[in-house]
Structures are given as structure tokens and as C-alpha cells.
Amino acid sequence: MHQPSDSSNAHATPSPAVVLVSGGLDSATVLAIARRDGFEPHALSFDYGQRHRHELLAARRVCEANRVAQHIVLPLDLRSFGGSALTDTIDVPKDRSEIEMASAIPVTYVPARNTVFLSLALAWAEVLGAFDIYLGVNAVDYSGYPDCRPEFVEAFSSLAQLATRAGVEAEGKWTIHAPLIALSKSEIIRLGRQLDVDYGLTHSCYDPQDSGAACGRCDSCALRLQGFQEAGVVDPVRYQQAR
């Protein structure tokens, strides 16, 4: 990990870090964590043809509120591949129990998404001279996604060191930060509130209305609502129907 600049020095320039910002609850929390850790966040979002495009508006709101150094929204048409309820004409599952959500990798899994996203974040980080990348993957409430596990993050960290000029020339050691990976959704929300994260700016729903109101019934909404309930906090976003 590249050590961030000493925040006690008013004239010190914070070290840059690339933060993946989807516009969801987790990524908004991670952005706040990166700033707390003393880094200057450079935010990266992806317009990948996702059906829940309202998350891009949320990503913009979150980045503006946090005054990031730079926010890039990168076009990337994963609808050309399809294979996911988020990028294809496949129904988003609704009203599923926790047992159903944990039974198999869901159809909302986008093939190799985090591998693709991290690879592009790695490319930008190398240009910026950054050695730290933050993302909001979570292995507790992860709904079976294989690219949200600690093993994946560790493997990508090793790949980054091997696959970049900066790594090969030993300019620094790459660190992929996944600070939420072992936290429950309620723990993430409590942490975010300590860091003054405005969750009213975020969007988590996989199948929102055209108005942006969350469906309240997809897996993502269910996990979010449960997290706020367990944290004893009212979710500030609009829902069409909350179960």
C-alpha cells in the first residue's frame, strides 16, 4: 500500500486512489473510507448498458457531494454480451427469501464484471501514479457473486503486481482495498453514518421505475432494506413497494 500523505501537514498533497463508484450504498461508503484514509479519491463509474441506469445519476450525486478530484463515467457496452438480468432481457428476481438468494449464483450476476471493472481501474491508477484501488465488494450480503469474495480480491492484487509496468519496475506495491468485505449491510450503514455518508443520494435497486423509485422487491432492495432495519435507521430513498 502506498502511504497517503500526512494529513497533519496542511501543505501536503494527498496520494491519489481510484475508487469504483456505482452509486450504490456500498460504494458511497467506500468513497468516504478512502477519504478518511487520507487519499485523494479519483472516482470511476461504468455506463455498461445496465438496466438500472439510475445508479449513474446517483454516482454523479455522490461524487459531487464528496468533491472528488475527478469522476470518469466510462462507456462499456456489456449488453453486447448479455447473459445477465442487468444487461439482457431476463426478468429480475423479486420477492425471494434469504434461502433462495443464497442457493445459487443469481441471474443478476454480470459475467466477470468486477474483473473487467478492476482491470480498467488498474489502467487509470497506473496513469495517475496511484497504487491504491478501492471497491465496495461484500462477502457477507453478496448474494452468491463469485467476484465479491476475499479470494478474488487477493488474486487480483497479485495480478496487478505482475501485469503493470509500475509493478514490474517495483515503483510501488498495489493494494486493492475492500474494506466492506466482511461487514454485514447494517454494519456498513452504521459505519457510513459515522463518516457522514448521505444515503439519500444513493441508488441500489436492480429494477427501478422510470421515475427512479426503487422496486423494494429485488434482491438488492431486500438486502438494503434489511440492513437499514437492523441498523435502526430509516432508509431515505423512495420505494415503489417495500416488503
Q: Where do the domains of the chain lie, and which CATH numbers do they carry? A: 16-231 (3.40.50.620)
pLDDT in tens, 188-239: 999 999 999 999 999 999 999 999 999 999 999 999 999 999 999 999 999 9
> What is the DSSP secondary structure assignment for residue 40, as one 8-state letter?
E
**58 by DSSP, 3-state: which?**
helix
Which tops the pLDDT comparison, 140 or 160? 160
Q: Given a cut of 60, is residue 26 above it in pLDDT? A: yes
Which tops the pLDDT comparison, 243 or 199? 199
- pLDDT at position 140, please? 81
High-pLDDT (> 70) share of the chain, %: 93
What number is the average pLDDT over the span 108-118? 97
What number is the average pLDDT over the span 77-91? 97
- pLDDT at position 102, please? 84
- Continuous H helices in 22-53: 25-36
Count of other CB atoms within 10 angstroms of residue 165:
8
**Type of residue found at 236:** P
What number is the average pLDDT over the span 121-139? 97
CA pair distance 112, 94, nearest whole angstrom = 23
pTM: 0.93
pLDDT in tens, 48-59: 999 999 999 999
> In whole angstroms, how far apart are CA 92 and each of 51, 107, 138, 181?
10, 7, 20, 24
